[in-house]
Structure 1
């Protein structure tokens, strides 16, 4: 347990909005920190990179948080807890294998021209629209939602409906329990209809491919499990990437010397994307919630007690025993094995897609707009309260 007598409020406050929270700077003084979640419940935050990396694959930590007396993230929303889904090995690995086969590197790389096309269309619309433009609404949100909906075969006319349902599903304290349930039920119903439509008329899309793989696999998914994975891919392929695009550009535009370095050599973009992912100025560790099935000893001898709610800290990306000068944005950093996409058996299945979209977004915006800049002082960038992610509500830009 933490030696602190009072749990620390979590997520940590972003104040000022473009600076790493002060709490991050001394976080690794203890390997475990007791935190208070938005629900009022407490959890143990594992802070050090070495421990976090090991625990991502430790089967004594369960992701089946709806089956155990795990602390709640939200007072109004169960979020990702689902007693009908087994998120632990071995069942999880069987299901993940089905999804991974459909979500192949070949399929993803073939999407790159489409990502460039969509990025170009969105920038055309920015040119024709009012200035300053809100980069979140004009670019960061529509790009990944259009790509993931294309991949999964969601009709383009349904994109806005889907986005509204997902925003409600991801509420922590922003919406009432009644509004959350309305969005949850609407999302479930919509996805059931979508899967049945693809079952009746298969196409060259990811849902149809999942259905095909599923019918030939000895560990086939149930209809409910299939819907769960489609929902997971839709959410992961949209909201996290959109948040990272907007936040990354805000961070870059606040450091014009780095922007100029990229413009002089766009081959640096992939490394810059990795460094911006490590910097992780758009989220917290709420999605890593686990339940300890047994006592677990950490590298310094501290023990996670059985029955604890545990979070694996994305803030471990700032561990100075792994990353030199971790609080500096270094786009030439090498060996950047950050924890932003998880690790081991729980490594994000959509990581390659997110990377590609971030690379195209970063290069595309900097090429198209040589004078792109924040249109408000950085102190005026606002982070919305009550959502699952802490991306900016708006990123006003001009060029």
Structure 2
């Protein structure tokens, strides 16, 4: 019998719902039923999840048609880079990938460190307790991605509300989401016109040249790429900073290790990526099988929606020793928090670097930093795909 989906909420913010561990052990490829009656397959073991994300028989393009279950993002999930299969996906990704190489990201690190320093200086001027969301964790990735894209500083406050709307619940808040997406589309059409008239040394100017001079993408693809990069470049990183700190508060020994030894920041970020529950435990885009596929001892028929459960895969004891323990020194950590295969997060290197510099600044620049609100008083924005805090009160003296 299909399992009702969404799955039950976990008892805490820090672990996946226990049902995922049960399924991973006993029914690693399980059929689930959405509230509208549509059926899909839920995959929970690490090896099977990687297969779903890397095997071309599991198609993102086929999953992006209106008749398939959608898990947020509305039409952005059906028109953007994340909705394409090769070769279309390869063509579009190649146009922007050069901005996110390891070398290019390392060139940006000093600037990001400077932004962290500037934001912390501003935070210290606030009366305690102060809101970390508005004073640090949101403006940091916003400023970085806007600088990269060439979005003027005066426009940065305009788009976050639209982005929040697009990242909401598509089934529940469709009108709001359409409004946010429409506003973002209009904004990027205006920005593209401005960049055409006054080119800059930024990613959007480069993409416009690819469109106008080399005919490598359509005007709609240009707008959609801009929206996807803008949302993807700040929403998850801002919320990861907040959830990382909440997770570390629950693990004071690991927090102390990171404070005492800055060399652990790299492994610490990777472990927090594996361990932290940024959203629900099924936080990867649905794929659809293009033919019958045998997975985990089950034959999944062609045309079936398949959901890889990243939260379950990243806690798989077949891959991770003591998987429900946070260990910032963990060396063997092949987590798939950034996905895998063709749809591996384009900005993974940028996100890693931003998270490292954010923790470096917060834990070493403010050594007495602490969250002063109990968990019961924290307010998360309703219906968001990821856990997004309204505010996070902190003190540091």
TM-score in terms of structure 1 length: 0.91
Instruction: Return the alpha-carbon distance in structure 2 between the equivalents of residues 389 and 84 of structure 1.
Output: 19
* Cα pair 1:243 1:389 within 8 Å, conserved: yes
- Higher mean displacement: 17-26 or 328-337: 17-26
1:177 aligns with 2:157: no
Inter-CA distance 229–78: structure 2 relative to 1 (3 Å threshold): closer
Using the TM superposition, name which of 192-201 and 159-168 deviates more. 192-201
Q: 1:84 to 1:376 in 2, by over 3 A?
A: closer
Of 378, 381, 389, which residue of structure 2 is paired with 1:384?
381
Report the equivalent of 1:87.
84
Change (3 A) 1:202 1:106: farther
State how far apart, in whole Å, the 2-side matches of 1:117 and 1:83 are: 32
Confirm whether residue 220 of structure 1 aligns to residue 240 of structure 2: no
- SS state at 2:233 partner: helix
User: Does the CA contact (< 8 Å) of 2:100 and 2:350 recur in 1?
Assistant: no
Whether contact under 8 Å (1:62, 1:88) holds in the other structure is yes
1:281 matched to 2:277? The reply is yes
Query: When the two structures are aligned, how many residues end up with a matched partner?
Result: 392
**What aligned pairs does 1:248-397 form with structure 2 within 5 A after superposition?**
248-284=244-280, 285-298=282-295, 300-315=296-311, 316-397=313-394
Q: Does 1:15 align with 2:11?
A: yes
CA distance in structure 1 between the partners assigned to 2:162 and 2:247 by the alignment: 29
Matched, 1:199 2:171: no
Cα distance in 2 between the residues matched to 1:174 and 1:398: 38
Verify the 8 A CA contact 1:290 1:311 in the aligned structure 2: yes
Matched, 1:67 2:65: yes
Residue by residue, what CA displacement relative to the aligned partner does 1:127-158 show, whole Å, maximum 9, x if unpaired? 11132222222211111011101110101111
Cα offset for 1:37? Answer: 4.9
Task: Identify if the C-alpha distance between structure 1 residues 333 and 80 changes in structure 2 by more than 3 Å, giving closer, same or farther.
Answer: same
Q: State the shift of 1:287 in Å.
A: 4.0
Alignment partners' CA distance in 1, 2:81 and 2:108: 33
For structure 1, the 5+ residue unaligned runs are none
Secondary structure of the residue aligned to 1:318 is: coil
Pair 1:231-2:227 in alignment: yes
After the TM superposition, which of the residue ranges 284-293 and 251-260 deviates more from structure 2? Answer: 284-293
Aligned residue for 1:119? 116
Preserved CA contact (<8 Å) 1:317 1:339: yes
Q: Deviations over 1:79-117 (max 9, x none)?
A: 512399960111111211121124333332221122112
CA spacing shift, 1:52–1:391, aligned 2, 3 Å: same
- Conserved in 2, the CA contact under 8 Å of 1:174 and 1:386? no
Q: CA deviation at 1:45?
A: 1.6
> Which is worse superposed, 372-381 or 91-100?
372-381
Contact 2:4 2:35 in 1 (8 A): no
Structure 2 CA distance, aligned partners of 1:80 and 1:311? 15
Structure 1 residues 374, 42: closer, same or farther in 2, change over 3 A?
farther
Change (3 A) 1:38 1:124: farther
What are the within-5 Å matches in structure 2 for residues 34-45 of structure 1?
A: 34-37=31-34, 41-45=38-42
| TM-score normalised by length of structure 2 | 0.91
Helix, strand or coil at the partner of 2:234: helix
User: 1:267, CA displacement in angstroms?
Assistant: 0.3
Gaps of at least 5 residues in structure 2 are none
The structural deviation recorded for 1:211 is 2.7
Cα drift, residue 336 of structure 1: 1.1
Q: How far off is 1:378 after superposition?
A: 3.1
Secondary structure of 1:349 counterpart: coil
Cα deviation, residue 9, structure 1 = 3.2
* CA–CA separation in structure 2 for the residues paired with 1:85 and 1:329: 30
